Amino acid sequence: MRQDFFPKPLRFLAVTPPESTEKEVEVNCGRRLKTWSRSRRCQLWRLLLLPFIPILALIVQTTLSLRSSVTNGREVSEVEEQVSRATELGKLVTRLQQERSEVAFFIFTNGSTLR
């Protein structure tokens, strides 16, 4: 764990080195406190943003899945249209064969309509 997340104990204010002045100690303490508060702020932002990472991943995954489903739906509708065309063409070929057989029967019987 990083050391700058937690402030150092404030007991160093009571014991000052002989060469430093009281003002230097206060400035040093102020800097450490600012660093600590910045790091706390950074830690708070991290904690707030952390839950959004899986949510964002789910949104991306759902978007890709939805795109795949839409593409599959389009392909299915195209295949369905092709099947209906093939069915209609099959019905047309059947009717043409029936007409051809009727014409062949008419020619074979010399114009007789009796079967």
Q: What is the pLDDT of residue 40?
A: 80
Is residue 113 one of the residues assigned to a domain?
no
pLDDT in tens, 45-64: 888 889 999 999 999 999 99
Is residue 41 one of the residues assigned to a domain?
yes
Domain that holds residue 60: 3-78
At 26, the amino acid letter reads E
Alpha-carbon torsion 50, 56, 62, 64, what sign? Answer: negative
Average pLDDT (90-101) is: 96
110 — pLDDT class (breaks 50, 70, 90): confident
Is residue 20 one of the residues assigned to a domain?
yes
Q: Which two tokens stand for residue 22?
A: 């009281």
pLDDT in tens, 20-49: 555 555 666 667 766 766 788 788 888 888
Is residue 99 one of the residues assigned to a domain?
no
Judge whether residue 74 has pLDDT over 60.
Answer: yes
Is residue 9 one of the residues assigned to a domain?
yes
Q: Is 102 left (phi over 0), alpha (psi -120 to 50) or beta?
A: alpha
Is residue 104 one of the residues assigned to a domain?
no
Burial class (CB in 10 A: 0-12, 13-18, 19+), 19: exposed
Instruction: Give the rounded percent of residues in the chain with a pLDDT score beyond 70.
Output: 66
Judge whether residue 104 has pLDDT over 80.
Answer: yes
Report the number of distinct structural domains present in the chain: 1
Q: What is the pLDDT of residue 45?
A: 83
Is residue 54 one of the residues assigned to a domain?
yes
Is residue 46 one of the residues assigned to a domain?
yes
Strands (E), 4-103: none
Average pLDDT, the chain: 80
Q: What is the pLDDT of residue 99?
A: 95
